Structure 1
Amino acid sequence: MKPQRPTRRVRSRRTFAAVVSVGLSLSVAACAARPGPPPVVDPGAHAAPPPPQVQHVNQQRSITIGIDSLRNGFNPHLIADDDAFTQALARLVLPSAFVDGVLNKDLLNGATEVPAAAGAAMTVRYIINPAAQWSDGTPITGTDFAYLAQQLANQPGVEDSAGYRAISNIRTSNGGKTVDVDFDTPIKDWTPLFSNILPSHLVRVLDVPFDQVLGDTIPASGNLYMVKGVDRARGLVTLARNDRYWGPNPAKIELLTFKTIRSTAEGSEMLRSGQLAAADLTPDQTSKESYSLVPGTQVIDYQHPARLDLDFSVTSPLLSSVDLRRAVASLIDIPTVARLASGRTSDLTPAQPWPGLPTPPPQTEQDQTPTEQAGENPTAPNADPAAQSVENLKNATTNRQLVVAADASDDVAVAAALTIADVLQAAGVQAQPLLTSPAAISAGVSTGTIDAVVSWHRAGTNPVILASQFQCDHFTVDDARAHADGAGGRPVVLDTPAGAQPSQTPTGSADPAVTLLPEGDVETPTTTRRTLGGWCDPDTDAFVSQMLAGTVDIAQGRQHLAELSGKQALSVPLLEQQRLFLVGSTILGPAPELTQWPLLLPAGPLASAGSWTKTQDTPNRNTAPTPDEKQPKP
């Protein structure tokens, strides 16, 4: 029976909000019919100039785009929320300092290294476009930069914490439009930082932890589109063009409706009848062939930079021994798990095992499974060490089952966890799958009740992402609260006059609004960890610091950390994510041929939707609209 998906994300962590002191208040007039909350601006901030008037030249149109089922929230910084659609949504709605490694000139007038402030290893100055504003009229300022930095430096379960943990101070001037970021360790490639900036004036006041601030929607936009509505029951997310967008190239299509496609047959029929303009989907066994047969449709498959892994908790009562972790790995046939988890044999890329990671021996008899061979005669004379380790694993699970957890909202991870538990049981290892929420998984790993987790990881495409997956950082909730209450930490200083030295908020500040960054590593039984595996090693920390500083290049870093993962059996790679992207004849995109479209990873080709136009030739409907699809009239 398919497990019931949780309907509400569990509140598990406390949000630490970035705060600025306000020296004077300004009132910003809202142009919308239903204005949002009063703008929160930095001291001395000037209201953004009125946005340019957008001409609607026969472009008030809408299209429907097919997507996978909605899983968790829409926070692109959380591992639990990170998927292709969340990244594409963020790319269309949230502003970033750099896009594909290129300065975002709509948001920033400049970003460059400047002479380091006293005590800092380096300082980067960002100059925000005076016209940049959120869709409710609030200016985008250094407050938004500081909020993002504090949350990603302090919260567990985030994708890209390493670069933000290197930040010691953030100072603003010129009404919050000049932002100086001080680093206490050097970061050679700092361009990935401050991507998908969040509207701090709206999210920091929510009475929910950081992993829930974008759980239902994205409350304001600083990009081409804004979220108009989310209907999870019907699998719909609607974006409307952000008419407050100040850039020279506003979105061309008025409304984008993203709809969950539950089967290839449904998607093909909607595409054939003109109800579907494009789709970005996880393929099934026949989807590529089926969609390719629809007249006028172009289809490509591409590899998304995400990998499904089985992560071992190195502090688990059962798997703290590297020998027992290697024993579990030796029972898992990666191609078999990949096939059963994805439910297909086509468009399938099983992951490659880490160098040195044990794998099941090859099958020698047609009627014998790899797991049966791995556990065969472990006590026989001259039995190999791997067989003995499997026997030790069986003994270790006699009184306590090995718990393999997965996010219940992720069908592929659920199928993998169930398969792995079955494989272990077949080999004589007592194992139990646990299908629950990401928050419950994080808590269970921290308390030692969960031994392994099946989850997706972003491929290490840049040093910040890769370092974040291995950097040692343990802290307890009590420790973080003590720092937040003024017991110590690093302040974020805002609104420093131009040219002045960075001031320091006194340790133990009496201001109840001041939130300080926790410092130091604290390891206790109640530790909350940023990484599910919990690997913490000084040598590894030193290595990833060198990689961040640029003294070790990314290729060397990948190889070294892959070898470490194999030697210490930190995880078992299972499945590389393959995706299918298709467009019908009604869409004019970046190039005539779909094969020439930029992939724009990790967001995928959907990220270019702001530049799409709709042709006049719409296929004739030969079927009635589906109940869920009530398209707005052009």
Structure 2
Amino acid sequence: MRDEPGGVDSAGYRLISDIKAEEGGKVVTVTFAAPYPGWRSLFSALLPAHLLKDAPGGWDQVLETGFPATAGPFSIKQLDIPRGEIVLERNERYWEQPAVADRVILRRADQAGLVDALRTGHDQLVVARTDEAGVAMLQTLGAKVTVKAAPRPTVLNLVFRQTGPDLQDERVRTALTHILDRDAIIKAGTGGGPSVRADALVLAPSQAGYASTGPQAHDPAAAQQLLTQAGYALTSGVWTQEGRPLSITIGAPADKEPYVIVAKEVQKQLVAAGVQVKLVTPTADQLLRPATAAEAGPNILVAPRPVGDNPAAVLASMYGCPARSNDSSVVPPGNIAGFCDPSMQPVIDAALTGSMSLSDAIANLEPRLWRQSVAVPLFQLADSVAARSELATGELTAPLNAPFASAVTWRRNPN
């Protein structure tokens, strides 16, 4: 969690200076190197070590093909990946509020299948990433079905790495952001579904205090002016500098939607504007590896920004400089953009440790981050949640873990 690229809240974990187990492991004392008001967010999803220690591929691969879980209100009775079905049963050994339902069955289906299952009453609850057509189909089910949007804990970002001979120039990065038509990219990525446009670099639309901070807009004329200032000329429809074409690589995680769809739309727009673009789709862990002298990797990443309980940690993890190390052989982890502005670091540290309010830090930093074109937020992913009236539920759109936060109270009433 401290060192792997793209780790959620990695800046918070890096503040941990010592961990001690006492009383046979029943008490764990964690010491931080500096005050950290958001410390609780680091321990909200603990799992016993024995579930992870023998996982194939080790800790960093444990969630690739398995679902380690323990001590919850439900136990996994059956996991059938080929059929797309998971059977959960009430965990009689759970010490907190017991689940009302004896069994919850999760099934995979396409949009049409989900709507039909709701219409017939075969299923009582649907959670799905839907496009405009899927939302319309759900809304035809009438008053017996309630349809809501449930934000996911993820904002889809374009991350600009300052690598290669071109993107090291702030003018070039800013020109690329002006070339891009964000509205068209968002439409392609969401398909007209419930996902919400994002216009801030730290907070997500679903979070308290969110406000649009993004000044950038689709402006091809400004893009041409900036590229000309940076020494490029438009020759035969291609931007070149001393005979070398402006060339970038876009990376998106393989088989992950809507990331690849977004990457293809970005590629199409940039190519149409005279930029040579290569699209690569490695696995997510390969995509987020830091650039090295031997392997620069993609210049632009289509990557997630986490939406967590502690936005100050997101700020520090996404935009902070690497931690200092006294060991010259150790390469300290950085953010996935490889970005570091030492003049910003005192403000980032102050927000992380609580000596400056997050709102003041955002007001100070976001205009500077926008000017340097570090990242361009696109939209916060969201699912459609639809429930039949005979299913009594709690809040189905709770942040971070919707709709299952209220699963212990689910009750199916008689028709």
- Which interval holds the TM-score relative to the shorter structure? 0.7 to 0.9
Q: Is the 8 A contact 1:241 1:251 kept in 2?
A: yes
**Which residue identity lines up with residue 449 of structure 1 in the other structure?**
G
**Which residue identity lines up with residue 202 of structure 1 in the other structure?**
L
**2:368 counterpart (542, 564, 567):** 564
Provide the residue aligned with 1:329 in structure 2: 177
Cα offset, 1:235, TM superposition: 3.0
Cα offset, 1:406, TM superposition: 0.6
Relative to its length, the structure with more strand (as a share) is 2
| In 2, Cα distance between equivalents of 1:226 and 1:531 | 36
Provide the residue aligned with 2:199 in structure 1: 352
Q: Which has the higher contact order (CA 8 A, sep 6+)?
A: 2
| In 2, Cα distance between equivalents of 1:311 and 1:303 | 21
Q: Is the 8 A contact 2:16 2:30 kept in 1?
A: yes
| In 2, Cα distance between equivalents of 1:522 and 1:416 | 39
SS at match of 2:278: strand
Provide the residue aligned with 2:204 in structure 1: none
| In 2, Cα distance between equivalents of 1:356 and 1:154 | 30
**1:606 counterpart (385, 393, 404):** 404
The answer to whether structure 1 residue 452 and structure 2 residue 300 are counterparts is: yes
The answer to whether structure 1 residue 419 and structure 2 residue 265 are counterparts is: yes
| In 1, Cα distance between equivalents of 2:106 and 2:173 | 41
**Which residue identity lines up with residue 266 of structure 1 in the other structure?**
G
Cα offset, 1:275, TM superposition: 2.1
Provide the residue aligned with 2:205 in structure 1: none
Matches within 5 A, 1:389-404: 389=230, 391=232, 394-395=239-240, 398=244, 401-404=247-250
Q: Is the 8 A contact 1:227 1:239 kept in 2?
A: yes
**Which residue identity lines up with residue 198 of structure 1 in the other structure?**
L
Change (3 A) 1:557 1:520: farther
CA shift digits 1:531-568 (9 cap, x unpaired):
32011233333222211221111222333332232021
Q: Is the 8 A contact 1:460 1:466 kept in 2?
A: no
Change (3 A) 1:266 1:576: same
| In 1, Cα distance between equivalents of 2:364 and 2:89 | 45
| In 1, Cα distance between equivalents of 2:326 and 2:271 | 41
Provide the residue aligned with 1:428 in structure 2: 274
Provide the residue aligned with 1:541 in structure 2: 345
Provide the residue aligned with 1:196 in structure 2: 45
Provide the residue aligned with 1:532 in structure 2: 336
Cα offset, 1:417, TM superposition: 0.3
SS at match of 2:400: coil
Change (3 A) 1:232 1:445: farther
Q: Is the 8 A contact 1:338 1:575 kept in 2?
A: yes
**Which residue identity lines up with residue 541 of structure 1 in the other structure?**
Q
Change (3 A) 1:216 1:549: same
| In 2, Cα distance between equivalents of 1:561 and 1:259 | 44
Provide the residue aligned with 2:82 in structure 1: 233
Q: Is the 8 A contact 1:157 1:530 kept in 2?
A: no
List alignment gaps of at least 5 residues for structure 1: 1-151, 362-369, 379-383, 476-518, 591-596, 618-634
| In 1, Cα distance between equivalents of 2:150 and 2:314 | 21
Cα offset, 1:586, TM superposition: 3.2
Q: Is the 8 A contact 1:302 1:579 kept in 2?
A: yes
Structure 1 vs Structure 2 CA RMSD: 2.9
SS at match of 2:163: coil
List alignment gaps of at least 5 residues for structure 2: 202-212
Relative to its length, the structure with more helix (as a share) is 2
Q: Is the 8 A contact 2:177 2:216 kept in 1?
A: yes
Change (3 A) 1:538 1:228: farther
**Which residue identity lines up with residue 349 of structure 1 in the other structure?**
V
SS at match of 1:469: helix
Q: Is the 8 A contact 2:175 2:226 kept in 1?
A: no
Provide the residue aligned with 1:171 in structure 2: 20
Q: Is the 8 A contact 1:313 1:319 kept in 2?
A: yes
Change (3 A) 1:549 1:225: same
Cα offset, 1:166, TM superposition: 0.8
**2:386 counterpart (579, 582, 591):** 582
| In 2, Cα distance between equivalents of 1:522 and 1:536 | 19
**1:283 counterpart (126, 130, 147):** 130
Q: Return the TM-score normalized by structure 1.
A: 0.57
SS at match of 1:431: strand
| In 2, Cα distance between equivalents of 1:326 and 1:390 | 14
**Which residue identity lines up with residue 388 of structure 2 in the other structure?**
G
| In 1, Cα distance between equivalents of 2:398 and 2:166 | 41
Change (3 A) 1:339 1:406: same
Q: Is the 8 A contact 2:146 2:388 kept in 1?
A: yes
What percent of counterpart residues are identical? 26
Q: Is the 8 A contact 2:72 2:94 kept in 1?
A: yes
**Which residue identity lines up with residue 391 of structure 1 in the other structure?**
Y
Change (3 A) 1:467 1:528: closer
Change (3 A) 1:210 1:390: farther
Cα offset, 1:465, TM superposition: 2.9
CA shift digits 1:135-167 (9 cap, x unpaired):
xxxxxxxxxxxxxxxxx2233221111221111
Change (3 A) 1:530 1:599: farther
The answer to whether structure 1 residue 159 and structure 2 residue 8 are counterparts is: yes
Cα offset, 1:444, TM superposition: 7.2
SS at match of 2:24: coil
Matches within 5 A, 1:86-125: none
Which entry has the higher C-alpha Rg, 1 or 2?
A: 1
**Which residue identity lines up with residue 418 of structure 1 in the other structure?**
K
Q: Is the 8 A contact 1:221 1:242 kept in 2?
A: no
Cα offset, 1:445, TM superposition: 4.0
**2:158 counterpart (310, 334, 352):** 310
Q: Is the 8 A contact 1:156 1:528 kept in 2?
A: no
Provide the residue aligned with 1:224 in structure 2: 73
Cα offset, 1:219, TM superposition: 3.1
SS at match of 2:2: helix
Matches within 5 A, 1:435-446: 435-443=281-289, 445-446=291-292
**Which residue identity lines up with residue 455 of structure 1 in the other structure?**
A
| In 2, Cα distance between equivalents of 1:427 and 1:193 | 44
Cα offset, 1:468, TM superposition: 1.9
CA shift digits 1:295-318 (9 cap, x unpaired):
511111244442211101123443
The answer to whether structure 1 residue 180 and structure 2 residue 21 are counterparts is: no
Q: Is the 8 A contact 2:148 2:397 kept in 1?
A: no
**Which residue identity lines up with residue 368 of structure 2 in the other structure?**
L
The answer to whether structure 1 residue 214 and structure 2 residue 68 are counterparts is: no
Change (3 A) 1:581 1:155: same
**Which residue identity lines up with residue 471 of structure 1 in the other structure?**
G
SS at match of 1:578: strand
| In 2, Cα distance between equivalents of 1:242 and 1:359 | 52
CA shift digits 1:461-484 (9 cap, x unpaired):
522233222232279xxxxxxxxx
SS at match of 1:467: helix
Cα offset, 1:256, TM superposition: 2.3
Change (3 A) 1:238 1:402: farther
| In 1, Cα distance between equivalents of 2:343 and 2:75 | 45
Cα offset, 1:410, TM superposition: 1.7
Q: Is the 8 A contact 2:172 2:226 kept in 1?
A: no
